[in-house]
Amino acid sequence: MEFSSKLLENAVYEVSQLPGIGKRTALRLVLHLLRQPEAQTKNLALALQNLRSEIKFCKKCHNISDTELCEICANPKRDTSLVCVVEDIRDVMAIESTGQYRGVYHVLGGKISPMDGVGPSDLNIATLIEKAKTGEIKEIIFALSSTMEGDTTNFYIFKQLEPYAVITSTIARGIAVGDELEYADEVTLGRSILNRIPFENSLKSEQ
Ligand SMILES: [Zn+2]
């Protein structure tokens, strides 16, 4: 792509670094911004800048939060002995929208994926095991998407939890294998949390 302006080229390059955005789409978006009032671009830049400089991760569950403790962990009505393990904030949002879950979460920040160079130490797993050690957790519900990486991650955590008196369960597979949680409809997802099954049973059914 030949650019008549270095400024334009730089902006297109940065936008094209976003997932799913090719050079052509990036150019379209940048030209769109140029046609809009200048304030709009400034607001966009400021929102992104503030996001990076001010965002916090809840010190208890690692969910994205504006405060030290996220709204869910800070809510005294939530059952802190019930912990749902999810990949990221999108899963928290999906499960929260079902209105069926009264426990808290533990956000891993990804899944174990040797292909992408993501190992257990790259994820928030150690803090979950620490929580289990203290005895404050009665049950851990695995709610990762049922992909190979999701299953590997569940199994790794399950093994780490073995020495501790924690019940492990997994959300019922109303959700098709390979589906991402965030795409499941609220009714199905809500039901699969209520009808969760012991984690060991999910291992047997797959063999
Ligand atoms: Zn939290």
pLDDT digit string, tens, across residues 113-122: 999 899 999 9
β-strand pairing of 139-142 with 167-170: parallel
CA 101 to chain centre: 16
Q: 196 and 142 in contact (C-beta within 8 Å)? A: no
pLDDT band, residue 50 (cuts 50/70/90): very high
Report CA(77)–ligand 1 centroid distance (Å). Answer: 13
Q: How many whole angstroms from 8 Cα to the centroid of ligand 1? A: 41
> How far, in Å, from the CA of 67 to the mean position of ligand 1?
9
**pLDDT higher at 177 or 65:** 65
3-class state of residue 75 by DSSP: coil
Residues 6+ apart with CB under 8 A from 137: 81, 82, 83, 131, 166
**Would the pLDDT of 207 be above 50?**
no
pLDDT digits (tens, 9 = 90+) for 77-114: 999 999 999 999 999 998 999 898 999 999 999 999 99
The confidence band for 178, taking pLDDT boundaries of 50, 70 and 90, is low
pTM of the model: 0.79
